[in-house]
Amino acid sequence: MTMIRSTTSSRSLATSSPIAWRSRHVETATKPDACNRPTLLWIDDYKLGLELYRTIFERLGFNVLTASNGADALKIAGVSHIDVVVTDYEMPGMNGEAVAIAIKVVNPEIPVVIFSGSTLIPTRVRRVADAFCDKAGSRDQLSSAIRRVLNKKRTRGLQPHPIARASDEGRRTVA
């Protein structure tokens, strides 16, 4: 059973009948908080750490949904509004790289922060994740990284799409 936690309520998602869950609870799970608090999806197989960071970041003004593995996180991401994903790198089943790739497939605009105690994160992961934080670092560094990718996401959303020009498509413009 997966727990979806936020500052406003706790609901369990029965994995055996996701359709029934969606029909009853999808409205409350997908809407952003009334106070426009950003929503983090925090993924870590270490449950005590998961609860600790949920509490810390709720006090810092975030809604925090939690998952203890990648598969449960993807279910939550499929039915919830998520602003930033924070995931551990070393987890059984889906590691942080697999989670980041799967999240980007669901929505490429969701920033992913890899939060790991491992210093041996492959270079290829840096192409998928938007930021990296060491678990041995300070909470301020982690909070700054989360806010940075969140602000980058908001700024990117405000930029107008570039206007296609004939020269961009390899065509010549004759004057």
Q: For residue range 27-77, what is the model confidence (pLDDT) as tens digits?
A: 334 444 446 899 999 999 999 999 999 999 999 999 999 999 999 999 999
Taking only the tens place, the pLDDT of each residue in 134-159 is: 999 888 999 999 999 999 877 655 44
pLDDT reported for residue 174: 54
174 located within any domain: no
Q: Where residue 149 sits, what CATH number does that domain have? A: 3.40.50.2300
SS3 breakdown of the chain: % helix, strand, coil, rounded to 5?
Answer: 45, 20, 40
Indicate the number of domains in the chain: 1
Single pTM value for the model: 0.69
97 located within any domain: yes
175 located within any domain: no
122 located within any domain: yes
Taking only the tens place, the pLDDT of each residue in 64-117 is: 999 999 999 999 999 999 999 999 999 999 999 999 999 999 889 999 999 988
Backbone angles phi and psi of 153, in degrees to 5: -65, -45
DSSP H/E element including 51:
helix 47-59
Domain housing 76? 2-169
117 located within any domain: yes
39 located within any domain: yes
